[in-house]
Structure 1
Amino acid sequence: MKKIAMLGPKNTYSEVAAKVYQNHTKTTYTFSYQKRIADVFEAMNTDTIGIIPIENTLEGYVQQHLDYLLEYPTYTITQELRLDVAFTCISHVPLASIETLYVQYATKNQCQKFIAKLDGVNLVVTDSNSQSYEAYLKDYSSAVIIPNHIYEEGMAPYDYVNITDESHNQTRFWIIESKERLDATYEDYKMAMVFTPRVDRPGLLLSIVEAFAKAEINLISIMSRPTKKAMGTYHFFIELECKLSQVSQIKTILKTLSTAMDVRLLGIFPDLSA
Structure 2
Amino acid sequence: MASLDDWRQRIDEIDEQILRLLTERAKLARQIALLKQQNDLPLYHPEREGAIFARLTSLPHDPLPDQAIKAIFREILSACRAVMRPPRVAFLGPLHSFSHLACEEHFGTFIEALPQRTIQEVFREVERGGADFGIVPAENVAEGPVGDTLDALLQTPLKIVAEVLLEVQHCLLSKAESLANIHRVYSREIALAQCRQWLQTHLPQAEWISVSSTAEGAERAADDPEGAAIGPRRAADAYGLQVLAERIQDVPFNLTRFWVLGKRMTAPSGVDKTTIAFSVPHRPGTLYHALSVFAQHTINLTMIASRPARHAPWEYVFFADFQGHVQDEPVQAALSELGKACLFLKVLGSYPEAIEVL
TM-score above 0.5: yes
Is 2:250 aligned against 1:170?
no
Q: Following the alignment from structure 1 to structure 2, what is the Cα–Cα distance between the partners of residues 66 and 6?
A: 16
Write out per-residue CA displacement over residues 205-252 of structure 1, whole angstroms, 9 at most, x where no aligned residue.
Answer: 11112111111111112222110221111111111113x597232122
Q: Who is 2:185 aligned against?
A: 101
Match of 1:55 in 2: 139
Q: Find 1:211's aligned residue among 293, 312, 331.
A: 293
Distance 2:355 2:296 in 1: 30
Query: What does residue 83 of structure 1 align with?
Result: 166
Q: 1:102 to 1:180 in 2, by over 3 A?
A: same
Q: Aligned residue for 2:339?
A: 258
Give the 3-state SS of the residue equivalent to 1:258 in structure 2: helix
Q: 1:14 aligns to what SS in structure 2?
A: helix
Contact kept? 1:5, 1:50, Cα under 8 Å: yes
Equivalent position SS for 2:284: coil
Cα displacement string for residues 56-101 of structure 1 (whole angstroms, at most 9, x for unaligned residues): 12111112211110011x1111111111110111331432332212
Aligned ranges 1:1-274 → 2 under 5 Å: 1=85, 2-23=87-108, 28-45=110-127, 48-72=132-156, 74-91=157-174, 92-117=176-201, 118-151=203-236, 156=241, 159-183=244-268, 186-197=269-280, 199-242=281-324, 247-261=328-342, 262-274=344-356
Worse-matched range after superposition: 157-166 or 14-23: 157-166
Query: Residues 103 and 50 of structure 1: is their aligned pair in 2 closer, same or farther, counting only changes over 3 Å?
Result: same
Q: Which has the larger radius of gyration?
A: 2
Residues 125-134 or 91-100, more deviating: 91-100
**Where does the alignment leave 5 or more consecutive residues of structure 2 unmatched?**
1-84
Does the 8 A contact of 2:215 with 2:235 survive in 1? no
Write the distance in 1 (CA, Å) between the matches of 2:303 and 2:159: 18
Between the two proteins, the alignment pairs up a number of residues equal to 264
Distance in 2 between residues matched to 1:39 and 1:248, nearest whole Å: 36
Greater mean deviation of Cα atoms: 92-101 or 50-59: 92-101
Sequence identity (%): 28
CA contact (8 A) 2:293 2:337 kept: no
More helix by share: 2
**Any conservation in 2 of the 1:5–1:44 contact (CA below 8 Å)?**
yes
- Alpha carbons 1:78, 1:182 under 8 Å: kept: no
Give the Cα separation in 2 of the matches to 1:5 and 1:156. 26
Q: TM-score by structure 2 length? A: 0.69
CA-based RMSD of the aligned residues comes to: 2.1
Contact 1:93 1:142 in 2 (8 A): no
Taking CA–CA contacts closer than 8 Å with sequence separation of 6 or more, which of the two structures ends up with the larger relative contact order? 1
Tell me how far 1:178 sits from its aligned partner.
0.9
CA contact (8 A) 1:148 1:162 kept: no
Q: Aligned partners of 1:267 and 1:177: how far apart in 2?
A: 10
Instruction: Confirm or deny: 8 A CA contact 1:6 1:40 kept in the other structure.
Output: yes
The answer on whether the counterparts of 1:93 and 1:141 sit within 8 Å (CA) in structure 2 is: no
Deviation at 1:148, TM superposition (A): 2.4
Structure 2 Cα separation of the partners of residues 257 and 104 of structure 1: 37
Contact 2:172 2:228 in 1 (8 A): yes
Q: Which letter does structure 2 place at the counterpart of 1:90?
A: L
| 3-state DSSP of counterpart to 2:225 | coil
